[in-house]
Amino acid sequence: MVGQTAALLRPLLDALSRHVLSGERLHADDTTVPVLAPGLGRTKTGRIWAYVRDDRPFGGTAPVGVFYRYTPDRKGEHPRAHLAGFTGILQADGYAGFAQLYTGNRILEAACLAHARRKFFDLFEATKSPLAKTALEKIAALYRIEIEIRGQPPDDRLRVRRERSAPLFADLKAWLETTLSRVSGRSDMVKAIRYAWSRWQALTTVLRDGRACIDNSAAERAMRPVTLGRRNWTFAGSDRGGERAAVFYSLIETAKMHGLDPRRI
């Protein structure tokens, strides 16, 4: 019955994915899914990928939406296949499988400052490091500007960022460089700095394109139902079960993004 329902819903998912992929900017993320390995009496690790369209931060009026895809592994060929028809900005983490998408001019990479911030936050929570606190304060200043310009047109966002955010990014970069030369090469602080440093070009895409977001929180929010759901359903019964789950997640979570109760539709 579930399989038949998923098959009937497939045209809706295809229409949803076409709409999402027609956007100027996407958020992407993935997470693990335990999947029963036939005949082995244990689970293997599959992946659920989420692709979110939300134009509201740069004043867009297109409907929001998210579609999910299941794959049996995390090979880079999967996001390349999922995004074969997409042209625009891709907000994502530093997963190497996305790298080939950024060759050429079809897809522009935009990184997630929240990922960089989290490394400093975890360090501060564990050690109360003054250096980590300084990093958090510098990043917070950038977020305060983003709150002010949320929902404004791309050109206005870009103008404000170039006037106010660019100096803050420059200051943060100089601080990262100076601090890197002062701390132990094996410390967690160095790891946090090097992560931000390695993603710097993509982190500053916001200074070159007003449509870009400062982080990938939209995709992380879309992943939350999957990560919470794992506690209830424990594992998918098969790869096909994972694919069916992706269909239902796509329609249910898109409905919720529009303020609808999927149980009443």
Q: Which domains does the chain possess? A: 2-110+216-264 (3.30.420), 113-207 (no CATH)
pLDDT, tens only, 222-260: 999 888 877 767 677 788 888 988 998 999 999 999 998
Region 187-211: mean pLDDT is 96
State residue 1's pLDDT score: 47
Model pLDDT for residues 125-164, shown as the tens digit of each residue: 999 999 999 999 999 999 999 999 999 999 999 999 999 9
φ/ψ region of 165 (left if φ > 0, alpha if ψ in -120 to 50, else beta) reads alpha
What is residue 4's predicted lDDT score, i.e. its pLDDT?
A: 57
pLDDT value of position 227 = 85
Average of per-residue pLDDT across 22-34: 94
Residue 25 backbone dihedrals phi, psi, to 5 degrees: -150, 140
The answer to whether the pTM exceeds 0.85 is yes
Distances (CA, A) of 132 to 32, 43, 127, 129: 30, 39, 9, 5
**Using 50, 70 and 90 to split pLDDT, how confident is the model at 8?**
low
- The pLDDT value recorded for residue 2 is 52
Strands 107-110, 42-53: parallel, antiparallel or unpaired by DSSP?
Answer: unpaired
Average pLDDT over the chain reads 91
Residue reference for tokens 């796509």:
250
Three-state SS at 30? strand
> Could you tell me the pLDDT band of residue 39, with boundaries at 50, 70 and 90?
low
Question: Minimal CA–CA distance to 123: which of 33, 183, 58, 59?
Answer: 183
The pLDDT value recorded for residue 255 is 93
Range with the poorest average pLDDT among 2-11, 70-79, 103-112, 219-228: 2-11
**pLDDT confidence of residue 52:** 98
